[in-house]
Structure 1
Amino acid sequence: MSDLMLKAATKAKLHVEAWLRTRTTNDRGQTAVEYLGIIVVVVAIVVAISGTSIGNTIRTAISNKIADLID
């Protein structure tokens, strides 16, 4: 292998390793933040539904559909 090819291969390997290190580190933190965001959104929706009359309307509609299926 020529000297020029060896230098190019070494440089490419170093860049790929650095990219992989930053890629795996950032993905782990990002995933935790995304899960936290999803949980916050779900909690906000549940609080909004339970705090208004929409929650009762939805509960009544679901109960009626279940009753229709049972009968």
Structure 2
Amino acid sequence: MSNLMLKASVNAKVWANTSVQRMKARADQGQGAVEYLGIIVVVVAIIGVLMTTNFGNAISTAITAQITKVTGGGGK
């Protein structure tokens, strides 16, 4: 194989590997933002459900009762 053919072959292989690596990196780039957006949507939905039902008040009352029980009453 001549030097010119070897050089062309090596350049083509390097270009192909570099292109594949760039494409893989580009495909993963926005994944973090989409995942964070999904988490935010779930949290907002949970908060919305808790605000529109009496379940939020029940949780608040239970937490307050346990804090009062641990602290021994009125906190004095």
Give the TM-score normalised by the residue count of structure 1.
0.72
Task: Number of aligned residue pairs: give it.
Answer: 69
- TM-score normalised by the chain length of structure 2: 0.69
Runs of 4+ in 1 over 3 A off after TM superposition: 5-8, 13-16
Can you give the 5+ residue segments of structure 2 that lack an aligned partner in the other structure?
none
Change (3 A) 1:53 1:22: same
Residues 16-60 of structure 1, C-alpha deviation per residue, up to 9 Å, x if partnerless? 322321222222211111111110110000111111011011111
| Uncovered stretches (5+) of structure 1, i.e. residues with no partner | none
Task: Decide which structure has greater helix share.
Answer: 1
RMSD of equivalent CA atoms: 2.4
% identical equivalent positions = 41
